[in-house]
Chain A
Amino acid sequence: MSNKLPQEKKLQIGVLAVQGAFIEHEHILESLGADVFEIRQLRDLNRPIDGLVLPGGESTVQGKLLRDLGLFEPLKNRIQEGLPVLATCAGAILLAEKIAGETKTHFATLPATVRRNAYGRQLGSFFTENEVTHIGKVPQTFIRAPYFESVGNDVEVLSRTATTNKHSNKNPNATTDESNNTTTKQIVAVKYKNQIALSFHPELNNDTSIHQYFLKLIS
């Protein structure tokens, strides 16, 4: 059975392509039958768009380029007007209303506080598999990843995950449950209205279920 969407409903998905792992998202979305285009400058927004992907990369770089290239306000307005967004890692940082320990924010359209490099440096990066609400068990790759320290009342938490890596920073505020020796789980996937934000990278594995879910929500 094909995972592709019917031809007549070909969705137009714009992928922010100023820096980072955007091609990986494009390949998955194309394999699912979407029409994908790259957003590198303002003129790329002069076409219909059904959904937006904010990929992984470095959020400081992407945030600066969004502003230098005049993309910041137009994209922020579209997100506030309800354009569906799938944001991974750096993308989730772009969406967050607050960034822990920093004064600078970017789109700030997602009522949540995100902590950058929350598991530490590259030695703290890890891979695991875990449940995501509405979707099921998915592979989760965390690369110098952030997590959500807190989320607003209307934000749905889709996944909580504990790190599998001994090098990862442990949350300084977390209390370990000594009785059953479980490690504290962090919020790593959330949904708020038109925005889905993940601190891991679904585009790095062969599993397409998260992108399928995103496309289904749009159509």
Chain B
Amino acid sequence: MSDQNRYELNKNLAQMLKGGVIMDVTTPEQAKIAEAAGAAAVMALERIPADIRSAGGVSRMSDPKMIKGIQDAVSIPVMAKCRIGHFAEAQILQAIEIDYIDESEVLSPADDVFHINKRDFEVPFVCGAKDLGEALRRIEEGASMIRTKGEPGTGDIVQAVRHMRLMNQEIARISSLREDELFNRAKELLVSYELVRYVHDHKKLPVVNFAAGGVATPADAALMMQLGAEGVFVGSGIFKSGNPAKRAAAIVQAVTNYTDAKLIAKLSEDLGEAMVGINEQEIALLMAERGK
């Protein structure tokens, strides 16, 4: 199979996830709860971002045995994270036939200059981005799906909103440029002319774009969808809350009917305690600043 075919198939899988919610899970039991609640995929990891944040120290790829346990527990796609630039971790995840690799700033970066050459892999990659330049650089490296970075493990939506708005503004700006101005824009963004040209012509990224980082409530999910996200990752927000199954199902429905405020009002009732959360100003470690 040609590499181009493989890349298309990997972008296609992200298309199938659209309108869905991808949930962080740490055990097969949580994975089953997530699947039953309507998760379109699960992200298998040893510790959810909120716990990584409070534990501190170096955070790495999860134990493959733990990931396999989750693969066996559910029928939906299973994703897992590797450290930025850690292509050996990515090779391991490919070897256990993971459905999507998240080269993630949530883990401690393994390389402070180079990201993984994702074109070398057959399995697909999703990467975080806080602006259009980062998104296109990851796509250039072979990512077949993008998500906002947000600020993981905080339950604070402000950064995801900032990243999504910024990306949309930059896409709108490129769309309005004259054709002869695109070459310089490519130079400024440190990406190829072809990618900038695609954004100019289609007014969107060439891959699916999800929201991630700080989504904790059905209203957060609806906000991100109305800002143009094609689906939502929920990390700590579900299993750090009072009633994970109910909250998860409510967020799933809110993503489907994200403009129906009446329905979302009903979905938001009696969800129990939301994750406690930390405000942007109280954070000691800005994960979104990892990997540019």
In the complex, whether B111 has a CB less than 8 A from a CB of chain A is no
- Contact between A57 and B122 (Cβ–Cβ < 8 Å)? no
- Contact between A117 and B75 (Cβ–Cβ < 8 Å)? yes
In the complex, whether A34 has a CB less than 8 A from a CB of chain B is no
B1 surroundings in chain A (CB, below 8 A):
126-127, 164-165
A19 surroundings in chain B (CB, below 8 A):
18-20, 40, 255-256
Main secondary structure of the interface of A (DSSP, over half): loop
- Contact between A127 and B256 (Cβ–Cβ < 8 Å)? no
8 Å CB contacts to A: which residues of B112-135? 122-124
Known: A65-B38, A123-B123. A141 touches B12 (CB 8 A): yes
- Contact between B16 and A20 (Cβ–Cβ < 8 Å)? yes
8 Å CB contacts to B: which residues of A1-60? 17-24, 40-41, 56-58, 60
In the complex, whether B8 has a CB less than 8 A from a CB of chain A is yes
In the complex, whether A120 has a CB less than 8 A from a CB of chain B is yes
Beyond A58-B41, A125-B13, 8 additional contacts (C-beta under 8 Å) are A20-B19, A58-B77, A68-B253, A116-B75, A122-B77, A123-B94, A123-B97, A141-B9
Cα distance A122–B5 in the bound complex, in angstroms: 13
Least distance between B90 CB and chain A CB atoms (Å): 14
- Contact between B19 and A17 (Cβ–Cβ < 8 Å)? yes
Q: What does the 1/0 interface line of B71-83 toward A look like (CB < 8 Å)?
A: 1000111100000
Cα distance A18–B71 in the bound complex, in angstroms: 25
Q: Which of A22, A68, A123 contacts B249 (CB 8 A)?
A: A68
In the complex, whether A196 has a CB less than 8 A from a CB of chain B is no
Chain B residue with Cβ nearest A17: B19
Most chain B CB within a 10 A radius of its CB, from A22, A116, A117, A127? A127
User: 21 A-B residue contacts at CB 8 Å?
Assistant: A20-B16, A20-B20, A21-B16, A56-B15, A58-B20, A58-B41, A61-B39, A61-B252, A64-B37, A68-B249, A68-B253, A69-B256, A117-B75, A121-B77, A121-B99, A122-B100, A123-B94, A143-B13, A144-B77, A164-B1, A204-B12
8 Å CB contacts to A: which residues of B8-31? 8-10, 12-13, 15-20
Chain B residue with Cβ nearest A63: B38
Known: A125-B12, A125-B13, A164-B1. A65 touches B75 (CB 8 A): no
Q: Which of A60, A120, A141 contacts B76 (CB 8 A)?
A: A60
B16 surroundings in chain A (CB, below 8 A):
20-21, 56-58, 89-90, 143-144
- Contact between A65 and B100 (Cβ–Cβ < 8 Å)? no
Chain B residue with Cβ nearest A102: B75
Known: A56-B16, A122-B100. A40 touches B75 (CB 8 A): no
Cα distance A22–B8 in the bound complex, in angstroms: 18
A116 surroundings in chain B (CB, below 8 A):
75
Cα distance A38–B211 in the bound complex, in angstroms: 22
In the complex, whether B62 has a CB less than 8 A from a CB of chain A is no
- Contact between B75 and A60 (Cβ–Cβ < 8 Å)? yes
Chain B residue with Cβ nearest A90: B16
Known: A58-B40, A65-B256, A116-B75. A122 touches B20 (CB 8 A): no
Chain B residue with Cβ nearest A204: B12
